[in-house]
């Protein structure tokens, strides 16, 4: 087989996929890339258009500066090229063209290649790597395809991800043309004529997010795939600086959705009796509860949201109260009293009792109890 044209593929992926993923605007997918090329394409790769690279890096710095004060980012690394190719193939697997005779299995094969790529891609090993990957893939769930339905007096037609020809929309009054545009975000693409189901897509996206944990945490309030604590997200949150970055990215997301996602995921850890992992999640929830308590002193917070959100807030308040009471939080006595007063209503709510019940149910019975 001929050697793939790495330079050509890289140029297309960068200009038509990676750059729009950061900058926004029209994003075009091309032929599926596959695992073999994805793993080899980034070796000493320099993207072709220096002006576009500069523009993209500027936008990435803006993205990064939302969480950390840095002034420059490096060009895409070998791993980031592989991740970008994997994401390209994930998006391309939803192409309606696969939903035809002799092609349906190809979409599933393509996702299998994506999984193979992701298996061979290492997780981030430092915060610079975490932030760099986040700057590339933070807008992953903003990828949206616009499907257009065109109806006229004697017929109708549907165009998925392409603009309808102008002849079909000509003379709108005379031909009674009705054009309906439906935006479809990435996770809704399987419902728009793809050959894969939503569950298979969610599995691949989950594997992808595991390799960019800050993006996973920043978008934890998403509808699908549901957020769950994984090895990389826990490893990030376990460090002080990682927890700070996480808190900052979560500040920009809707509070109720983030609390609900964290509550649901942490409840899963407790039920599975994964206590070591659960304690890492507790630290994050406690930090959020203390931040809430500081804010509540200025403007009392309104408690709203689902049961999971209340669970997360109550769990955070319980842990935070214990930390403040044991003087593990550096503060003055007056401030400590104010914090305890602000934490008390949440820590003694009905949701807090649910938390205690859930922990008691999952904990092993004390020795000699029966």
Partner 1 sequence: MTHVRRARDPPCKFRAILLGPMLERIALHQTRLRTPGLGLEAKGVALGAKGLVLLPSIDRLVALLAVYTREHSLEDLMPSLSIHLVRSKLGTREITLEIAAESSDRMDRIAETARLVGGFTFTGTSRHFVQYRDAGAPFGYDATQLLATDAALALYHDKFSQTYDVEKELNLRALLLRLMPHVDPSTTAEAGVRYLVAEQGLGPALIHYFVRSRVDGEVCVGEWPPASAFEDAPIRRYVLRVPDLPVRMRLLMTRTPGITSFLPAGPGVAVEIGYRHPVALRACPVFDPNGLVLLRGRGDEPWSLDRLPQMGDIRAFARVELRGEDAQLVAASTATSQPDAVRVPLRVLPSAAAWRNVTATWIAPNEIPLLRRLAYALPHQTIAATRIAVTPRGAFLRSSIGIEAIPLGTFFVEIHAGLFVPAGYDVTPAVAPDVLYRALGASPTQAIFVGIDARAMSIDEASFVPLETALLEAQAWEPLVADAIEAALEEKPIDLKLEGLGVFPLGAAELPAPDAVPALPPAEK
Residues of this chain that interact with partner 1 (CB under 8 A) are: 1, 4-5, 7-8, 11, 20-21, 23-37, 39-40, 42-46, 48, 50, 59, 62, 77-79, 82, 89, 91, 95-98, 103, 106, 109-110, 112-113, 116, 119-126, 128-129, 139, 142-146, 160-162
Q: Measured from the CB atom, is 39 or 270 closer to partner 1?
A: 39
Those residues whose C-beta lies under 8 Å from the C-beta of residue 107, and which sit 6 or more positions away, are 93, 94, 95, 98, 194, 195, 196
Shortest distance (Å) from residue 233 CB to partner 1: 17
Q: Measured from the CB atom, is 50 or 333 closer to partner 1?
A: 50
Q: Measured from the CB atom, is 21 or 209 closer to partner 1?
A: 21
Shortest distance (Å) from residue 291 CB to partner 1: 26
- Residue listed under structure tokens 């390209």: 88
Q: Measured from the CB atom, is 77 or 169 closer to partner 1?
A: 77
Shortest distance (Å) from residue 32 CB to partner 1: 4
* C-alpha dist (Å) from residue 107 to 38, 91, 101, 116, 135: 17, 10, 12, 14, 28
- Residue listed under structure tokens 């205690």: 356
Shortest distance (Å) from residue 283 CB to partner 1: 24
SS (H, E, C) 43-60: CCCCCCCHHHHHHHHHHH
Shortest distance (Å) from residue 126 CB to partner 1: 6
The C-alpha atoms of residue 159 and residue 161 are separated, in whole angstroms, by 6
The C-alpha atoms of residue 51 and residue 297 are separated, in whole angstroms, by 48
Question: What are residue 7's phi and psi, to 5 degrees?
Answer: -60, -45
Q: Measured from the CB atom, is 113 or 220 closer to partner 1?
A: 113
Which residues, listed in sequence order, are joined to residue 158 by a DSSP beta bridge?
149
């Amino acid at each position: 087989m001929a050697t793939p044209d790495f330079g050509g593929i890289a140029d297309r992926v960068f200009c038509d996929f990676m750059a729009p993923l950061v900058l926004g605007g029209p994003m075009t997918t091309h032929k599926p890339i596959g695992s073999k090329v994805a793993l080899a394409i980034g070796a000493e790769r320099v993207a072709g258009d220096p002006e576009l690279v500069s523009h993209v890096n500027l936008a990435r710095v803006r993205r990064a500066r939302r969480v950390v004060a840095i002034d420059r980012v490096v060009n895409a690394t070998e791993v980031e090229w592989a991740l970008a190719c994997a994401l390209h193939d994930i998006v391309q697997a939803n192409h309606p063209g696969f939903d035809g005779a002799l092609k349906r299995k190809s979409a599933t094969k393509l996702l299998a290649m994506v999984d193979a790529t992701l298996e061979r891609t290492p997780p981030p090993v430092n915060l610079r790597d975490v932030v760099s990957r986040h700057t590339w893939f933070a807008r992953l769930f903003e990828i949206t395809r616009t499907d257009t339905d065109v109806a006229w007096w004697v017929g109708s037609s549907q165009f998925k991800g392409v603009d309808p020809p102008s002849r079909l929309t000509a003379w709108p009054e005379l031909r009674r043309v009705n054009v309906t545009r439906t935006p479809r975000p990435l996770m809704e693409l399987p419902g728009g004529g793809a050959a894969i189901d939503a569950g298979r897509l969610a599995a691949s996206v989950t594997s992808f997010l595991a390799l960019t944990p800050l993006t996973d945490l920043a978008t934890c309030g998403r509808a699908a795939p549901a957020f769950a604590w994984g090895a990389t997200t826990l490893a990030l949150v376990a460090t002080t600086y990682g927890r700070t970055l996480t808190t900052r990215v979560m500040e920009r997301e809707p509070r109720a959705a983030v609390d609900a996602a964290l509550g649901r995921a942490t409840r899963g850890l407790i039920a599975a009796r994964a206590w070591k992992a659960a304690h890492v999640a507790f630290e994050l929830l406690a930090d959020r509860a203390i931040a809430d308590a500081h804010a509540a002193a200025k403007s009392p917070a309104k408690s709203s949201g689902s049961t999971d959100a209340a669970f997360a807030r109550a769990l955070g308040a319980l842990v935070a109260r214990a930390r403040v009471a044991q003087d593990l939080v550096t503060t003055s006595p007056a401030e400590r009293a104010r914090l305890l007063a602000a934490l008390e209503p949440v820590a003694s709510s009905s949701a807090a009792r649910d938390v205690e019940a859930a922990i008691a149910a999952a904990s092993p019975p004390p020795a000699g109890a029966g």
